[in-house]
Structure 1
Amino acid sequence: MTSAVNNSTSGTPSEIPEYDISRPARCPLDPAPAMRARQEEGPLTRIRLWDGSTAWLVTGYEAHREAMASLQVSADPMRPGSPRLSAGEAAMADALKQQGKSSIGMSFIMMDDPEHNRLRRMATSAFTIKRVEAIRVSTQRLVDELIDKMLDGPKPVDLVEALALPVPSLVISELLGVPYDDHDFFQTNSKAIINRHTSGEDRLAARQELINYLDELLGEKLTKPGEDLLSGLAERIKAGELTREEATEMGVLMLFAGHETTANMITLGILTLLQHPDQLALLRDTDDPKLIASAVDELLRWITITHGGLRRVALEDIEVAGQVIRAGEGIISVNETANRDPAVFADPDRLDITRDARRHVTFGYGIHQCLGQPLARMELQVVYPSLLRRIPTLALAADLEDIPFKADGFVYGAYELPLTW
């Protein structure tokens, strides 16, 4: 047990460091300096949240895996002690409780076993490596068509609107059976939900809009099923395996997660490579699928999309990194420092696409590990080399400090990325 942990544990809330996830303007892709400082103190420290409450902050790689793998911690944000990162988030949870809701509405990722496992296994088959590889060719065709449009259009071009957002949105829409023409609707409401500054009332309204939308689509699939994932959920409703509410919330989760995170990873991945021309050249000039896969995993390690950490609450006393976390105490585990832990990754701040980075925890760890990671990896393996090969002179069309980053959300990214060639 480190002395830093002892000091932070014994201090009053005002003496405990504030949870600050602000990234430096000069290095917007690096972990927040405050998170680095906490990591230097030890793998487990105490932090103070916006409302004066405190939680355990996990910054070390092994401690992160230890905490996330523990069956004595809960992923349910409705449980007392679960860390809340904004007033809007807290207000939404309180409003849902008043309505008699038992969950926040993001399906199994915010549930514990056995309910988590019961619901998760109903979606697993759609995201197996075999199923994902079956759509690689069509994804490649889609990416090529979008790059054709970029080349035929004016310069500079915003990568977010031209490629990063359409690719995962179109792919997940096709898999789910959601009309892509409605993408503005679900993207607008998704942004409202993940923005830390959204009020509880507006967050609740956006959540309800998505639920109503998916519920209506499910109603159509119940009478006219297709070959898509929503139709599969509709069949489970008919069989009595799922309630309509459970199926709707599962649809909301997959629609949201299927486009928001990957879109931001595409954007920040290209920006990162442009900042590392030697690594960009290696990826652009290779046709080795193993190196391409390695590059994707290294970018997933180096960049952190989850902005704010993975939040849990201890169900009973547990020990993490030699420190006892008491039942009812909140836990926030941050990927960005775990993925740059020098005890695990040599020279962790160096981007090296030849490195074996498969041990990264970007997709989480334990029973809540991201279900859609095969799909995300495949999309990134297609997009990165395709764009770099098709446009070998790709360049940033703005200064780094002028790029608007999503520092206000729970998912990090860039609102736009102007490129030229």
Structure 2
Amino acid sequence: MTETLPEPRTDAPDFPMARSSGCPFDPPSQLRTLQQEKPLSKVRLWDGSTPWVVTRHDQLRTLLGDPRISSDATLPGYPHRSAGSKAGEEHRRTFITMDDPDHARIRRMVTAPFAIRRMEALRPAVQTIVDDLIDAMLAGPKPVNLVQAFALPVPSLVICELLGVPYEDHDFFQRNTKIIVHHGSAPEAVVQALEDLADYLDRLLTAKRANPADDLLSHLLAERVDTGEMTQRDAARMGVLLLGAGHETTANMIALGTLALLEHPEQLAALRATEDPKLVAGAVEELLRYLTIAHSGRRRVALEDIEIDGATIRAGDGVVLTGDIANRDPAAFPDPDRLDITRDARSHVAFGFGVHQCLGQPLARLELQVVYSTLYRRIPTLALATGTDRLRFKGDGAVYGVYELPVTW
């Protein structure tokens, strides 16, 4: 007989939870406790709502693959990350917060440019970008902030090239993206940042109409806007999503992954010494699992009652699926708190799971493979220029990372 878990109690722990001091790479210890003792339980969000939190790897994959779990951010009960996030999601809907068939229809419009084969064709260009930035670092003063000098420019240059956005405008779109992803941003600030970015891309699309190029925005105009499948404003909003997602997450993975490797010198040495692309690719998957920088959880709401592991998630209940602790589930990954670049970590959920898994993951993997196979080989004496305890970590936004990473060699 299925047992219905009790209604939310006033003592539900607050979410998101703080990480333990001195453990910057590990998920909050409270999540580990829940995973061990009560993997399906209630938490309390910023607005007082009490959605379910899912902490086990198998449960997360099951629910993310269940069509009775909705991504529609406009539905009652949807567990928004913050007041700013709620305002932004209500102001402009993207396919990320839609369900099929609308989700599939719109996602298909931009799937082809991110196909694995097309991404692989970009490898020489990404390699050139990485090498040029390393050349500039080596020729300049040290120590250097790796975030600003390398981690942020790499994916920004790549996504600008792919979309057809002038890189000289990177300060503008990076500044606005930071407002959008920060949990503490005021709702009106998030909406304004979204509109400013959409206005910018709208103007860029107008310019491309007169002078089209071989880039994603030009193709959207010709293949989707001019055919009536979407408006130019819709294309601009699509560009906002791709531009932000295309640099923010990978930049944080480059910097945080570098820090994790510097803190695990035996793993760094093995990665630096290898010429095996399979080991490099495996190291990328392991670092994605180990760090899981999308640390706020996938947000969903139940459309129907769902029974899972003796519990019932009721229709209308919010659900937060925590990939960071699911990727540290010992039932899925033996000795999960150990970084091991030889581990087969391909079943991780850092990119989500199911129909809504990250569209840009082939691009992210490519960029990380090039970075992790190049940076430490070309600068073999790379080292932190400060203590880890003096670094500031991004626990206040949708993406985890470090604000600065001073390094020397």
Shorter-chain TM-score bucket reads over 0.9
- Relative distance call for 1:211 and 1:296 in structure 2 (3 A) is same
**Whole-angstrom CA distance in 1 between matches of 2:259 and 2:226:** 46
1:53 maps to 2:40: no
Give the alignment's TM-score, normalised by structure 1: 0.94
Choose the corresponding residue for 2:124, options 127, 137, 144. Answer: 137
Equivalent pairs, count: 408
Q: Deviations over 1:332-388 (max 9, x none)?
A: 001111101000101000111001100000000010011111110010000012110
Deviation at 1:11, TM superposition (A): 5.0
Spell out, residue by residue over 1:271-312, the C-alpha distance to the aligned partner (whole angstroms, 9 max, x if none): 000010000000000000000000000000000211211100
- Report the secondary structure of 2:346's partner residue: coil
Question: Which amino acid in the other structure matches residue 343 of structure 2?
Answer: R
Separation in 2 of the partners of 1:51 and 1:239?
Answer: 42
CA distance in 2, matches of 1:143, 1:89: 33
Give the corresponding residue for 1:219.
206
| Residue of structure 2 equivalent to 1:99 | none
Distance in 1, matches of 2:58 and 2:319, equals 15
Question: Alignment partner of 1:48: what SS?
Answer: coil
Confirm whether residue 251 of structure 1 aligns to residue 239 of structure 2: yes
Aligned ranges 1:164-243 → 2 under 5 Å = 164-235=151-222, 236-243=224-231
Structural mapping, 1:312-351, within 5 Å: 312-351=300-339
**What's 2:344 paired with?**
356
After superposition, residues 396-407 of structure 1 pair within 5 angstroms as 396-407=384-395
Aligned AA for 1:18? D
Instruction: State the Cα distance separating 1:406 from its structure 2 match.
Output: 0.9
The whole-number CA distance in structure 1 between the counterparts of 2:373 and 2:87 is 43
Query: How far apart are the structure 2 equivalents of 1:407 and 1:418?
Result: 19
Match of 1:101? none
The letter for the 1-side match of 2:145 is D
Listed as ranges, the matches of 1:9-408 within 5 Å are 9-12=6-9, 14-92=10-88, 96=90, 104-105=91-92, 107-235=94-222, 236-408=224-396
* Structure-1 separation of matches of 2:24 and 2:159: 28
Cα offset, 1:92, TM superposition: 4.8
Question: CA shift at 1:188, angstroms?
Answer: 0.3
Q: Hey, what's the Cα distance between the residues in 2 that align with 1:86 and 1:256?
A: 18
Separation of aligned partners in 2, 1:224 and 1:317: 52
> By how many angstroms is 1:2 displaced?
11
1:41–1:171 CA distance, 2 compared to 1 (3 A) = same
Q: Which amino acid aligns with 1:116?
A: H
Give, in angstroms, the shift of residue 128 of structure 1: 0.9
Paired with 1:322 and 1:258, the residues of 2 have a C-alpha distance of: 39
Deviations 1:164-211 (A, max 9, x none): 000000000000000000000000000001111111111111111111
- Aligned to 1:112, the other structure's residue is in SS state coil
- Residue type matched to 1:313 in 2? V
Moved more, 333-342 or 237-246: 237-246
CA contact (8 A) 1:302 1:339 kept: yes
The Cα RMSD (Å) is: 1.6
Kindly provide the CA deviation profile for residues 109-154 of structure 1, in whole angstroms up to 9, marking residues without a partner as x.
1111111101111111101111011110111111011001111111
Percent identical residues: 57
Residue 141 of structure 2 aligns to which amino acid in structure 1?
P
Aligned letter for 2:78? S
Q: Please state whether the residue corresponding to 1:319 is helix, strand or coil.
A: strand
Verify the 8 A CA contact 1:158 1:416 in the aligned structure 2: yes
Distance 2:334 2:185 in 1: 39
Residue type at the aligned position of 1:69: G
SS of 2:169's partner is: helix
How far off its partner does 1:315 sit?
1.1
Gaps of 5+ in 2: none
The 1-side partners of 2:275 and 2:283 are apart by 12
Q: Is the 8 A contact 1:16 1:47 kept in 2?
A: yes
Alpha-carbon distance between aligned partners in 1 of 2:43 and 2:179, rounded to the nearest angstrom: 26
Distance of 1:50 and 1:40 partners within structure 2? 25
Unaligned 5+ runs, structure 1? 97-103
Residue identity in the other structure for 2:272: R
Mapped to 1, the partners of 2:166 and 2:384 lie a distance apart of 33
Deviation at residue 222 of structure 1 after TM alignment: 2.4
**Cα distance change of structure 1 residues 220 and 89 upon mapping to structure 2, 3 Å threshold:** same
Contact 2:57/2:327 (<8 A) preserved: yes
Q: Which moved more, 1:255-264 or 1:39-48?
A: 39-48
8 Å CA contact 2:202–2:236 kept in 1: the answer is yes
